[in-house]
């Protein structure tokens, strides 16, 4: 596939045109206040998996609206804390999957919390967390659920859950609460950007090929789902463009990036047709943390670095989290 986005020198200086709502900070402060008005109530239940190198726990905690969110918690077998920890967020349509799919980080000496994504988990990996909230008429998928107002938009609930996931793992006695890093690819990368702003004291952020960034460009230029869910919605609801774009501005990774402080390792596939390189760079160039790096995969599409990127993350985290 040939390059189709901006030339690389322009990508490295590209600035998104996304608007920033005047009440962005107030909106998210109120959202987290509402979320935290419910007890976190974390539960870590041991699971017999037959695995000998890790210990696995089925996690439940209360996220948005006090609604239960599931996850997996894995630690090296026989580990004594405090351990550095990675919180993993999932790509679009995926759930927490199965425990044996998550051996990399505990094999490297980290605790790992894998957060389920509410309402998802039947696309490419299993999920176990429902989304009990309703929605006005929406396009199939998750991108337009409640999109008429920031207060009802689907990702308000997801981002709130993601903050609570970090707060959950920080309460576990085996975890060093000052050494919690966050990561995810695609949708998980977009969630990572949101949490890096909403919890600016996380130790490190590693958003890979982040989705949910630079919505004004993404919904107009890419021809790939999931962004085109919004385009098809607006094809029918012609008079709602301004209203929808206002809602999306509260959830745009660019606006979150401006508020982040943690060291960050980004990655981008320069042939990515889903999360366009320019939209990834829009978040990276806006990212306020002083210590940031972009890993570029010149001939990769939306998979980015895939499994080859994990050793890059591990080496980078040794600098910013474990100090070794």
Asked about 302 being catalytic, the answer comes back as: yes
Beta bridge partners of 69: 61
On whether the CB atoms of residues 172 and 73 are closer than 8 A, the answer is yes
Rounded Cα–Cα distance for residues 230 and 126 (Å): 25
Closest to 286 measured CA to CA, from 28, 17, 87: 17
Q: Is 194 exposed, middle or buried (0-12, 13-18, 19+ CB in 10 A)?
A: buried
C-alpha 271/C-alpha 280 separation (Å) is 12
Residues with Cβ within 8 Å of 254's Cβ and at least 6 positions away in sequence, in order, are 16, 18, 213, 214, 282, 283, 286
Catalytic entry in 186, 196, 267, 278 = 186
Strand order, beta sheet including 292-297: 43-47, 54-62, 68-76, 111-115, 83-89, 175-185, 204-208, 264-269, 292-297
Determine how many CB atoms are found less than 10 A away from the CB of residue 237: 16
φ/ψ bin of 184: left (φ > 0), alpha (ψ from -120 to 50), beta (otherwise): left
Catalytic, 122? Answer no
Q: Which residues pair with 207 in a beta bridge?
A: 184
Q: Is 272 tagged catalytic?
A: yes
Catalytic residue chosen out of the listed positions 116, 196, 278, 302: 302
3-state secondary structure of 76: strand
Interatomic CA distance for residues 322 and 229, integer angstroms:
41
43 has which bridge partners? 60
The reply, when asked if residue 92 is annotated as ligand binding, is yes
Number of other CB atoms surrounding residue 209 within 10 Å: 33
Task: Write down the catalytic residue from 5, 139, 272, 278.
Answer: 272
Q: Six-digit token pair at 210?
A: 């982040």
* Total length of the chain: 324
The set of catalytic residues is 186, 272, 302
Q: Binding site membership for substrate: which residues?
A: 92
Residues comprising the binding site? Answer: 92
């Amino acid at each position: 596939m040939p390059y189709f986005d901006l030339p690389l020198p322009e990508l490295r200086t590209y600035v998104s045109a996304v608007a920033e709502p005047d009440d962005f900070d107030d909106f998210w402060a109120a959202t987290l206040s509402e979320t935290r008005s419910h007890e976190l109530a974390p539960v870590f239940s041991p699971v017999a998996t037959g695995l000998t190198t890790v210990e696995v726990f089925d996690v439940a905690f209360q996220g948005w609206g006090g609604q239960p969110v599931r996850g997996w918690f894995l630690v090296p077998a026989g580990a004594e804390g405090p351990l550095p920890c990675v919180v993993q967020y999932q790509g679009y349509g995926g759930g927490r999957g199965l425990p044996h799919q998550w051996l990399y980080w505990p094999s490297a000496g980290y605790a790992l919390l894998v957060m389920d994504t509410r309402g998802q988990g039947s696309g490419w990996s299993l999920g176990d967390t429902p989304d009990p909230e309703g929605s006005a008429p929406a396009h199939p998928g998750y991108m337009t659920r409640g999109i008429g107002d920031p207060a009802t938009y689907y990702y308000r609930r997801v981002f709130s859950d993601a903050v609570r996931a970090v707060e959950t793992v920080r309460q576990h006695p085996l975890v060093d609460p000052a050494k919690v890093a966050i990561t995810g690819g695609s949708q998980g990368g977009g969630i990572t950007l949101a949490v890096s702003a909403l919890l600016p004291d996380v130790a490190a952020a590693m958003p890979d090929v982040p989705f949910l960034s630079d919505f004004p460009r993404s919904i107009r230029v890419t021809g790939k789902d999931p962004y085109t869910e919004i385009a098809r919605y607006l094809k029918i609801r012609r008079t709602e463009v301004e209203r929808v774009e206002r809602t999306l501005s509260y959830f745009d990774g660019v606006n979150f990036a401006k508020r982040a402080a943690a060291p960050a390792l980004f990655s981008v596939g320069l042939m990515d047709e889903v999360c366009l390189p320019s939209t990834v760079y829009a978040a990276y160039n806006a990212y306020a943390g002083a210590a940031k790096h972009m890993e570029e995969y010149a001939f990769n599409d939306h998979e980015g670095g895939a499994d080859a990127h994990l050793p890059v993350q591990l080496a980078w985290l040794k600098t910013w989290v474990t100090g070794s």
